[in-house]
Amino acid sequence: MIRNIPFGVTDWGALPAEEHKGETGTSFWRTVERGDIRVRMVEYSAGFRADHWCARGHILLVLEGELAVTLRDGREFVLRPGMSFAAGDDEGNPHMASSGPGAKVFLVD
């Protein structure tokens, strides 16, 4: 449940992009923190592969491109524009993101 967050409008194009290097490629995050919630617009370069397994919960929507999400048990899901995933904070089922052609996603965590 989302509580105690005042109404706010975000102009994503006006926010500075913060660079995050992956094992390969780069991601650029535009981030807004509201209470306990982090909201991000992330752009992944072509050839991006994360440099770590992530156990943080997310709700992610692919806006452009293609994003592959791999679970530690080997399952892989390829998400295209209009597709999303949701995962809770779970140390037992970490995931890792990669993108061959690059992608733009919207995340809430």
Taking only the tens place, the pLDDT of each residue in 7-41 is: 999 999 999 999 999 999 999 999 999 988 999 99
Q: What CATH number matches the domain at 19-108, 3.90.45.10, 1.20.140.10, 3.40.920.10, 2.60.120.10? A: 2.60.120.10
pLDDT (0 to 100) of residue 35? 87
Question: Rounded to an integer, what distance in angstroms lies between the CA atom of residue 34 and that of residue 108?
Answer: 11
Average pLDDT, the chain: 95
Chain CA centroid to CA 34, Å: 17
Q: Domain map of the chain by residue range?
A: 19-108
pLDDT in tens, 69-87: 999 999 999 999 999 999 9
In 1-109, where do the E strands start and end? 18-21, 26-34, 37-44, 48-49, 58-65, 67-71, 76-79, 84-87, 95-99, 103-108
